[in-house]
Amino acid sequence: MNTEFINNLNWIAIFCGALGYFMLGALWYSKMLFAPKWIEYTKVDANNSDAKKGMGLLMFMSFIWMFITAFAIAVIRDRIYDVTGLLGGIKLGFVTGLCFGVASLSISYLYEKRPAGLYWINGGYTLLGNIIAAIIICSWHN
């Protein structure tokens, strides 16, 4: 596989796309939006000090996965030359979010028999996170 295309990628846009995805998580899983329901579905005891242990590493690792997702979006965008701008980002983010993120999540949720509400919270986050990352990547001008 020829990997020279990696030199064409906009690494700052990839980083910012991952950062946008990460920042969505801070809002999405906040008390303002879905934290109370997420806690109810997952049965995490937010008052337990053990639940907060390792949170820095957890956040760092989730950012790494979001960076990998943003990288994949950038690779796809590089290969499909006419995907640019806001609308191109929305379309690309929707396709990658639905076909890779939500589809993978759906398979796990089917077998794990998790609550449907938790699926909608996590699936919605995955889909919207992909869209945000793709909008940033597709709208960034080199």
Residue type (1 letter), 82:
D
Torsion over CA: 71, 134, 141, 23 (sign): negative
pLDDT below 70 — which residues of the chain? 142
Burial call 49-59: b when 16+ CB within 10 Å, e when fewer? eeeeeeeeeee
What pLDDT score was predicted for residue 142? 57
What pLDDT score was predicted for residue 16? 98
Which residue from 4, 142, 17, 2 is spatially nearest to 74, judged by alpha carbons? 17
- Using CA atoms, how far residue 40 sits from 25, 44, 115, 118, 120, in Å, is 17, 7, 10, 9, 14
Distance of CA 62 to the CA centre of its chain: 9
What pLDDT score was predicted for residue 74? 96
Question: What's the predicted TM-score (pTM) here?
Answer: 0.93
What pLDDT score was predicted for residue 65? 98
